[in-house]
Amino acid sequence: MASLALPGHGCSIRYQYGLFEQKIIKGNQVEIPDNWLANGFEWEYRKADKAVNVKFNGNAYMKEEEDGSLSLVHEDYMTVMAVPYDVPIVGFRNNTVNTLRLWNAEVNRDFSDYGTMTHEQIQAKNEYRNFVESITEYLYPDDSSYEGRRLRLIQEYFFVSAGVQSIVRHYILAGMHLREFADKIAIHINDTHPAVAVAELMRILVDEQGFGWDEAWKITCKTMAYTNHTILPEALEKWPVDMFRSLLPRIYMIVEEINRRHLEEVRKRFPNDEQMVRELSIIEDGQGAHGAPRDRRQPQRQRRRGDSYGHPEARHPAFLPQILSKEVQQQDERHHAPSLAHRLEPRAYEPHRRDDRRRLAEEAVGAFAPQRPCDGQIVPRPSLRRSSARGRATSPISSTRTAASSSIPT
């Protein structure tokens, strides 16, 4: 985007450890942690004054005021401080500088009160510090366990909430009215991981900025855009309701209301078809009745309100009829945009360009012959999810402003 002189800024997490390095030891491939920040990163700028607070856990409910209006009460929550580290993304010879904002989870380093604290209080504070630091420690924690899945959800909401809060704050400081938010801002959700951004923007507009639900929903629908990387059901994230509700109580309330209104529309279009209602529900029954746990789908077709809904990669549309029922396709067809490929796959062109590449490499570094890796040698592992910013994951949420900007966002 920077090289095209387009004003776009990305958000992601400032991970300590990335995808593994590979070594060959005694003829075997061994995976070790890839410490991205072992030697620091020269191009990042810490912006402590731009930190925001992200809330987890607690109890959320609506309280009726004397005038009959409802106000949110969110109590006993845990706060995590998100501190941005900005990396300039420089366009090619066009005076455009965008920003990749990497969020780091941090705690207050003031230890002055330790002398007056009990042993139990010190232990609780240390446990809190360990929890906060674990949020941004590893890229893609193992999600085969309950705790691993919970950590992934924490990571996803952490940077989504921090990013959306930062975007709204920057917009307000620019002196513009939030009713025109969608005319100036587009938030693009890259795959399912930041899909909770829809509910987070609704939370900010309704709870913090005082909008009514309908007006906030209209702004959110016009602001959000979405690209999915796959339509295979097994690749889409689902969260147990109990996990999601306890970790993000207010966000769960908003998702429930989004789902309730969405299903009202489904019932109007498909009367007396409860099977269709179940298929299109954001919240689904996990194992039937008897109090069995339910899942909250990290939506793909369900997160249907973005202005760029449904941008699967070009190779996916052929699989649509095999995966989605005909009725579900009929329900969603009016929301689908044409399928767009969001990247070029260089390997598809390698057979035609391999000789040219080899000659270019030999001109630059001299002729070479492939050798078997020696013990202890690092084997590079290229990844499509890494960017030029020192191997960090490409940002899954970004904001685009209509006015060109070459400054790092506030």
Q: What is the pLDDT of residues 396-405, one digit of tens each?
A: 455 443 333 3
Q: Which residues of 191-201 are buried (b: 16+ CB within 10 A; e: fewer)?
A: bbbbbbbbbbb
Q: What is the pLDDT of residues 262-309, one digit of tens each?
A: 999 999 999 999 999 988 898 876 322 222 334 555 443 334 444 433
Structure tokens at 218: 């209209």
Q: What is the mean pLDDT of residues 123-140?
A: 92
From CA 358, how far away is CA 210, in angstroms rounded? 61
Tell me the whole-structure pTM to 2 decimals: 0.74
Burial of 23 (0-12, 13-18, 19+ CB in 10 A): middle
pLDDT at 384 over 50: no
Q: Specify which residues 178 forms β-bridges with.
A: none
Q: What is the pLDDT of residues 24-65, one digit of tens each?
A: 888 898 888 889 998 889 999 999 999 999 999 999 999 888
